[in-house]
Amino acid sequence: MDRLLVVRCPELLGEDEDGDALRAFATVVAAVGTYCPWVTPVRPGVCSIPARGPARYFGGETALVALVRDTVATVTPAEVGVADGLAAAVLAASEGVVVPAGGTAAFLAPRPVTTLAGPDLAGLLGRLGIRTLGQFAALPEAHVLGRFGAAGALCHRVAAGRDGEAGDLREPRTAGVLDQLRQDRPREAGYDGGPSGAGFWGGASDADVRAARSLAAVQELLGPAAVLTARLQGGRDPAARARFVTWAGGRPARETASTAPWPGRIPPPAPAVVHPTPLHAELADGRGEPARVSARGLLTTTPARLSVDGGPWAELAAWAGPWPSEERWWSRSRRRGARLQVVTDAAAHLLVTERGRWRVEATYG
């Protein structure tokens, strides 16, 4: 049985004709959604969220109840409670209490049977002398099933704290009505509705809609993480200056300030190809001796030949560097190395050496 937090807004319980209450309830649902995205609208004026995760994050169930109550109170007076199962949680909300885990049966026991049972069952139980849910829960389950049928048995399980809800607690239409309301609402800043509008004043144009649709189709084909978009950020080497994020419907990203100075960054122009995993490389001088960068940041010999990924040796036409770099020396992820630009007849590479090994970090393709 799930541990649920229920928000009950007494003023929004009834349906009104002009929909004000429903609109206010939509706001409440959005507000509760800031604590947990899985808000279930139970019926107009009542919604629930799973309590376990948010309670752990916000410092306990009591703290979460207080937070949610304060948040919703900015919209409408609210009653908030936590319990196991929806039926008990709604009751707990109307009393504003947090029922401890496993305490549902004890919480329900002193209440009259009418709180859970429908009028038929409640009347029958009353005539049998069973007035409280505790008395009802004490009856043997098999006999309840035989005497009162499936509905009675379910009600009995709820009263005993073994099941979450019974009867017509939910109104399934509510979620649909709220969705409808959300679509009818005009687009606002920060609200990301479906693509619409003509695009003349900066909304989504037809071309944007078409592009978003085909990119979504590719994501369906290959998986969401297969379609990426690049964002620039600060950094020294070309790989650090760009970040690829999963395509998310073409929403413009927040601008990252990349104007901050990064002393020691590779001078422009930037390489057009940045290898996702740097390629192994070997650098040697004219006699075949491997070229290294010493601890003082100097080349041990004049580089003359380069071999990328075990390929054939290529003569260097020119080279520049080395540029030593020591990043995050204060932390465990420290990196100490040097970079070198080399030009062969076929390509220009940005090499990096770390712990005596050369790798091709980027190619000026």
Partner 1 sequence: MFVVPPRPRAADAPPPAGGAAPRQAIDRTLDPDARAALARLAVRTRPVAASRTRLLPVSGVVAGLLPDGALRRGSSLVVGGPGEQAVLSLALALVAEASRTGSWCALVGHDGLGAVAASDLGVDLDRLAVVPRPGPAWAETTATLIDGVDLVVLVPPFAPRPAMARRLVARARERGTVLVALPGRTGWPEPPDLRLLVEEATWEGTAAGAGHLTRRLVVVTAQGRRSAARARQCRLWLPAPDGTVAAVDAPDGTRGPGA
Residues that bind partner 1 in the complex, under the rule CB under 8 A: 199-202, 205-208, 210-215, 217-218, 221-222, 226-232, 238, 241-242, 244, 247, 250, 252-253, 266-276, 299, 302, 317-321, 341, 343, 346-348, 362-365
Question: Is the separation of the CB atoms in 42 and 169 below 8 Å?
Answer: yes
Nearer to partner 1, 52 or 243 (CB): 243
What single letter denotes the amino acid at residue 136? F
Nearer to partner 1, 25 or 323 (CB): 323
Residue 283: which of 327, 322, 336, 326 has the closest Cα?
A: 322
DSSP 114: G
Question: Is the separation of the CB atoms in 155 and 108 below 8 Å?
Answer: no
> Per DSSP, which regions of 227-304 are E strands?
228-232, 242-246, 273-284
Shortest approach of partner 1 to residue 278 CB, angstroms?
10
Shortest approach of partner 1 to residue 240 CB, angstroms?
10
By CB atoms closer than 10 A (0-12, 13-18, 19+), residue 6 is: buried
Nearer to partner 1, 54 or 238 (CB): 238
Shortest approach of partner 1 to residue 201 CB, angstroms?
8
Shortest approach of partner 1 to residue 336 CB, angstroms?
21
Shortest approach of partner 1 to residue 299 CB, angstroms?
8
Nearer to partner 1, 9 or 266 (CB): 266
In the structure encoding, which two tokens stand for residue 160, read together? Answer: 């005993």
Nearer to partner 1, 97 or 304 (CB): 304
In the structure encoding, which two tokens stand for residue 20, read together? Answer: 């004000």
Nearer to partner 1, 102 or 286 (CB): 286
Tokens 């970090």: give the residue.
361
Cross-strand bridge partners of residue 230: 244
Shortest approach of partner 1 to residue 284 CB, angstroms?
15
Residue 325: which of 233, 259, 232, 237 has the closest Cα?
A: 237
In the structure encoding, which two tokens stand for residue 206, read together? Answer: 């037809």
Cα 301 from Cα 291, distance rounded (Å):
6
Would you give the distance in Å from CA 152 to the centre of its chain? Answer: 41
Nearer to partner 1, 9 or 274 (CB): 274
Nearer to partner 1, 20 or 220 (CB): 220
Task: Tell me the residue length of the chain.
Answer: 365
Element (H, E) at 321: strand 314-327
Q: Hey, is 314 helix, strand or coil?
A: strand
What single letter denotes the amino acid at residue 172? P
Shortest approach of partner 1 to residue 246 CB, angstroms?
11
Shortest approach of partner 1 to residue 244 CB, angstroms?
7
